[in-house]
């Protein structure tokens, strides 16, 4: 029996509303079979602010569309991927600003951003806010990006003995963001120039901070136990663990699980058609031909009116 080759990436995403009245996270993944390039974009709307769901959808839509448009350049201009990530975030910030200017009642809305691009086994990423990007290998879970909230400072106070761990864990300012896409100056954006190199079997989890209601040790335990399973199954087990907490204050949860199945060289890189190129010798190109209405008779001596047009598809070469 014929068996299709194993894809380079195994990817699944998941969402959970938690204890919130609305879903303010947004996420999109794109890892086409046959391609050695993929991407994931996630945004977490600012909880408690006007139209956080609108902000997250604007950010994900703008960043993803920008990256998708440039994706044909990734293979040949890989070193420019951090520039593409940065430009996409800047455009999303401008779109949020324009939306707020047109709709003053939603002033204060904003969203975090976590975006990743994977080329073969090389991971490029950018983050603004507190949405974590986790990497799991050999039983060890680590967060690749920094947390742009007051949580790290509060944890540092607990570590130095200024406050106890329980106070730090439940501190009311813990989730206050120090950088966010809000249509104004972005205080901080992390985007390394050099890629993070993945190994076969590695797992990357791009998530909103709602996943952090689980202790990192529990996330690591789940990833380690099901590391040989499909990403969809891993995602289900993470969601099950979230539901098992039964926390009435559970934040929205969105995340993508990305596994690297193999690191064999790319068979064929996708290339963008050069701007201005006009192909002269295409086999059966798509064309437009005139069609008369079925059953309509054309008078012998009368000049026929301009008939409607119908698109006839064919090979695009």
Q: What is the pLDDT of residue 149?
A: 81
Q: What is the pLDDT of residue 271?
A: 64
- What kind and span of H or E run contains 56? helix 52-70
Q: What is the pLDDT of residue 71?
A: 93
- As given in the structure block, the two tokens for residue 303 are 């000049």
Q: What is the pLDDT of residue 170?
A: 72
Select from 257, 298, 293, 273 the least CA-distant residue to 118.
257
Burial class of 175 by CB neighbour count within 10 A (0 to 12, 13 to 18, 19+) = middle
- As given in the structure block, the two tokens for residue 135 are 């990497």
- What kind and span of H or E run contains 219? helix 216-225
Alpha-carbon distance 75 to 40, whole Å? Answer: 17
Strand partners, 26: 43
Q: What is the pLDDT of residue 280?
A: 65
Place of tokens 């335990």: 221
Strand partners, 206: 133, 256
- The answer to whether residues 231 and 242 touch, using CB atoms and an 8 Å cutoff, is no
Q: What is the pLDDT of residue 68?
A: 97
- What kind and span of H or E run contains 88? helix 81-102
Q: 58 in helix, strand or coil?
A: helix
Alpha-carbon distance 216 to 76, whole Å? Answer: 37
Q: What is the pLDDT of residue 174?
A: 74
Select from 98, 29, 20, 86 the least CA-distant residue to 53.
20
Alpha-carbon distance 10 to 257, whole Å? Answer: 8
| Residue-by-residue pLDDT tens, the chain, 317 positions | 445 568 899 999 999 999 888 899 999 999 998 889 999 999 999 855 668 999 999 999 999 999 999 998 998 899 999 999 999 999 999 999 999 999 999 998 999 999 999 999 999 999 999 999 999 999 999 999 998 888 777 777 877 777 877 777 777 667 788 899 999 999 999 999 999 999 999 999 999 999 999 999 999 999 999 999 999 999 999 999 999 999 999 999 999 999 999 888 776 555 666 666 666 666 666 677 777 656 555 555 545 554 444 444 344 44
| pTM of the shown model | 0.83
CB atoms within 10 A of CB 163: 15
Alpha-carbon distance 236 to 242, whole Å? Answer: 10
- What kind and span of H or E run contains 100? helix 81-102
Q: What is the pLDDT of residue 160?
A: 78
């Amino acid at each position: 029996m014929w068996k299709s080759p194993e894809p380079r990436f195994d990817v699944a995403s998941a969402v959970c509303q938690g204890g919130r009245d609305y879903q303010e996270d947004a996420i999109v993944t794109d890892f086409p079979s046959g391609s050695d390039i993929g991407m994931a974009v996630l945004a977490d709307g600012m909880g408690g602010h006007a139209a956080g769901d609108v902000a997250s959808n604007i950010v994900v839509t703008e960043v993803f569309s920008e990256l998708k448009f440039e994706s044909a350049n990734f293979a040949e201009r890989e070193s420019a991927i951090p520039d593409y990530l940065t430009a996409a975030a800047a455009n999303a910030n401008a779109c949020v600003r324009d939306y707020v200017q047109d709709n003053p009642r939603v002033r204060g809305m904003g969203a975090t951003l976590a975006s990743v691009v994977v080329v073969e086994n090389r991971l490029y990423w950018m983050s603004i806010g507190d949405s974590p990007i986790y990497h799991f290998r050999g039983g060890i879970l680590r967060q690749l990006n920094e947390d742009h909230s007051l949580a790290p400072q509060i944890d540092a106070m607990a570590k130095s003995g200024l406050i106890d761990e329980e106070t730090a864990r439940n501190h009311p300012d813990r989730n206050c963001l120090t950088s966010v896409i809000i249509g104004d100056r972005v205080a901080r954006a992390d985007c390394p120039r050099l890629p993070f190199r993945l190994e076969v079997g590695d797992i990357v989890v791009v998530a909103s901070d709602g996943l952090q209601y689980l202790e990192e040790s529990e996330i690591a335990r789940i990833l380690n136990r099901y590391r040989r399973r499909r990403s969809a199954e891993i995602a289900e087990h993470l969601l099950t663990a979230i539901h098992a907490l039964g926390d009435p204050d559970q934040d929205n949860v969105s995340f993508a699980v990305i596994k690297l199945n193999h690191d064999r060289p790319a068979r064929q890189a996708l290339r963008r058609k050069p701007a201005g190129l006009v192909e002269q010798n295409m086999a059966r190109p798509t064309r437009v031909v005139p069609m008369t209405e079925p059953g309509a008779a054309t008078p012998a001596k009368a000049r026929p009116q301009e008939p409607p047009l119908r698109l006839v598809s064919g090979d695009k070469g």
